Structure formats: C-alpha cells, structure tokens
Copies of this chain bind each other. A is one copy, B any other.
Amino acid sequence: MLFVVGCALADEVLPSWNDGQTKHSILKFVARVTDQRGPDYVAPAERIAVFDNDGTLWCEQPAYPQFRFGMDRMQTVAAKFPELKNREPFQSALADDLDGVIKSSVHGLIELTAATHGGLSTGEFDGVVNNWLATAKHPRFQQPYTNCVYRPMLELLGYLRANGFKNYIVSGGALEFMRPWTEKVYGLPPEQIIGSTVKTIMEMRDGSPVIVRQPEIESINDKGEKVLSIQRVIGRRPIAAFGNSDGDLPMLQWTAASRGASLCVYVHHTDGEREYAYDREASTGRLDKGLDEAKARNWTVVDMKRDWKRVFPFAESEATRK
C-alpha cells in the first residue's frame, strides 16, 4: 500500500483541486492521522471515511438519477399497477412530470423504485439497472449518468484509499441501484455500499434459492438513519465524512463527535455554469442547517466554483481552468 503523506506533494495529489484552504485542510488531516509518531495517528483499520452519493459523488440535478430510472420503469409497468396511478409520486411519474416527482423527495424515490421493481430477483434487478444506465443520458450534459461523477471526488476516493482509508458510500439512494456500477465507477465494492432498502424475501425457484424484491420500503437511509446504518454495517465511527445536504448533517455530527481527529466536509454547489448552483432553498439537496453548522464548527466547505479545476471527467476543456 502506498502512503502519500503531507503537503509536500500537494501539486501531484488531487490534481483537479485548486491549491487553497480547502485542499490543504484535506491534505493536512490525512497527514495528521497517518503520521505514526504524531499525537493524532489513527490505525489503518479505524480509517473509515463515509461519502454521501447524490450531490457528493455524482450530479443530483435536475433530479436524482434514480427518479428518472423509476419514471422510465413506470412507463413499462404502469398497466400492472392500476392502484398506484392516482397516488404520488406515481401520478407524476406517469405524466412524465419530473417536478411533481421531485416533490416526493427521498421517500418517493425509494417508493418509486420499490413499486416498479417488486417481484424481481436481485440478479434480475442488477440487469434492469445496467440496461437503463447503458442508454439513459443526463438531460443537460448528454452523458451517461455514470459519467456525471465529480472528478475531484474520484481523486479524493483514490487518495484516501492510498492512505489506508476504507471508503463507504452512505446514501439515501437505493442500495441495489448503486451496487451494479459503484465498483467500476468509484472503485467501491458492494460491501462498502450502504443505502435505502426495499423488503426482500428468499424463495425457491426451480429448486434454487433466490432473493426477491418486494414492492415495499424497508429503510430510508437519510438523516439520523445514516448514523444508525453506519453503526449497523460498519460498527466503527468514521473519522471522515463527506456530504452535500442537510440529510447528511447527522452523519457529519456523528463523525465530528469522534474522540480523535476528524474531518467533516460539505460539498457546496456554487457553480451554475459548469454544474448547478443551489443550497438553502433547493428541493433536491437542500443545504441550510448544514451550512450554518459547518460555519459554526469550522468544517471544510468545498466551494465547487472556486476549489475545483474541473467538475466532470468528460469536461477536458476545463482542465486549464484555475
């Protein structure tokens, strides 16, 4: 394992990050917890970092990609679910009314996924996700959604991994909507993904056990539930946490309450030109209380416009931007 320590290599690590306070706060933290002779040293096994996904690792505007996924699926299966058609978010989904769907928030997100994918085995669901990702495109960037990930954050995942960290996604998005692609895109294997879940049952099909998804929500992995799922799955308190909305605040607070050194980072969407600019009034990814708390507690706030040389991997022309 390669350990890159300190700020001496600041120009070589995190190349998509502009030099400045934000980048240095990250480098400094990593240097502190990996310095074996320093007072803040943390053993590798305890170097747990947790990342929100929507809006922290990939673009969540104009709507969570998973909303589009559920809406597309709804067109296919609507006839099978007449009882849903007058209920939100299904009514809006059927009318192809994205704004209506967005209003249903994370709960609607999981409900749409659960209802439109019940009865599928986990293997079949993987196939549905992969097929959708192969053709669906982000409406503005005209790229596959899995290309609309933040290049600076990909570098950060790799940098932490190289320094002995174990990175987890802790997202409000559906667990099995992420796993089919997170290893390829983020280098994060299925056991390092935590998300919302639908109920599942085990049943025998052709003499073989299969796990079958039920059209019912099991857990919404948002706000305090993120803390509880971190404890349930990981059983260690993270020392670094990255989020972008108020839904991530408890996870950051939990991380900050660590006895030793900790790093709490908010990604602040300030760049309407290259991505989207939104915070306190947003219906998707609202960052209001979190912004105040970050200021009060001196957490690191990434100003996307100022701190990132480029946003997306496909945006080669941004590379020279300072």
Q: Do A233 and B233 form a contact, CB below 8 Å, given A202-B250, A209-B253?
A: yes
Can you show 28 pairs from A to B with CB atoms below 8 A apart? A122-B231, A175-B232, A175-B235, A179-B235, A189-B235, A189-B236, A190-B234, A190-B235, A190-B236, A191-B234, A191-B235, A191-B236, A193-B235, A197-B232, A200-B228, A200-B231, A201-B224, A201-B228, A202-B224, A202-B227, A202-B228, A208-B257, A209-B227, A209-B250, A209-B253, A211-B227, A211-B231, A233-B233
Which residues of B lie under 8 Å from residue A175 when comparing CB positions? 232, 235
Contact with B along A220-247 (1 / 0, CB 8 A): 0000100110011111100000000000
Cα–Cα, bound, A234→B189 (Å): 9
Cα–Cα, bound, A122→B236 (Å): 11
> Would you give the shortest CB distance from A149 to chain B, in whole angstroms?
20
| Interfacial residues of chain A within 96-123, with CB under 8 A of chain B in the complex | 122
Closest 9 CB pairs of A and B: A190-B235, A202-B224, A208-B257, A191-B234, A202-B227, A209-B254, A209-B253, A200-B228, A179-B235
Cα–Cα, bound, A235→B253 (Å): 28
Which residues of B lie under 8 Å from residue A134 when comparing CB positions? none
Q: Which residue of B lies closest to A166 (CB)?
A: B191
Q: Is A9 an interface residue (CB 8 A)?
A: no
Q: Is A45 an interface residue (CB 8 A)?
A: yes
> Would you give the shortest CB distance from A207 to chain B, in whole angstroms?
9
| Interfacial residues of chain A within 173-221, with CB under 8 A of chain B in the complex | 175, 179, 189-191, 193, 197, 200-202, 208-209, 211
Known contacts A201-B224, A209-B227, A209-B253, then 16 further A-B pairs from the complex at CB < 8 Å, ordered by chain A residue: A175-B232, A175-B235, A179-B235, A189-B235, A190-B235, A190-B236, A191-B235, A197-B232, A200-B231, A201-B228, A202-B227, A202-B228, A202-B250, A202-B254, A208-B257, A209-B254
Which residues of B lie under 8 Å from residue A200 when comparing CB positions? 228, 231-232
Which residues of B lie under 8 Å from residue A234 when comparing CB positions? 190-191
Which residues of B lie under 8 Å from residue A250 when comparing CB positions? 202, 209
Cα–Cα, bound, A189→B233 (Å): 11
Cα–Cα, bound, A257→B122 (Å): 14
Say which residue of B190, B202, B209, B233 sits within 8 Å of A191 (CB atoms): B233
Which residues of B lie under 8 Å from residue A190 when comparing CB positions? 234-236
> Would you give the shortest CB distance from A201 to chain B, in whole angstroms?
7
> Would you give the shortest CB distance from A199 to chain B, in whole angstroms?
9
> Would you give the shortest CB distance from A118 to chain B, in whole angstroms?
15
Q: Which residue of B lies closest to A182 (CB)?
A: B235
Which residues of B lie under 8 Å from residue A179 when comparing CB positions? 235
Which residues of B lie under 8 Å from residue A231 when comparing CB positions? 122, 200, 211
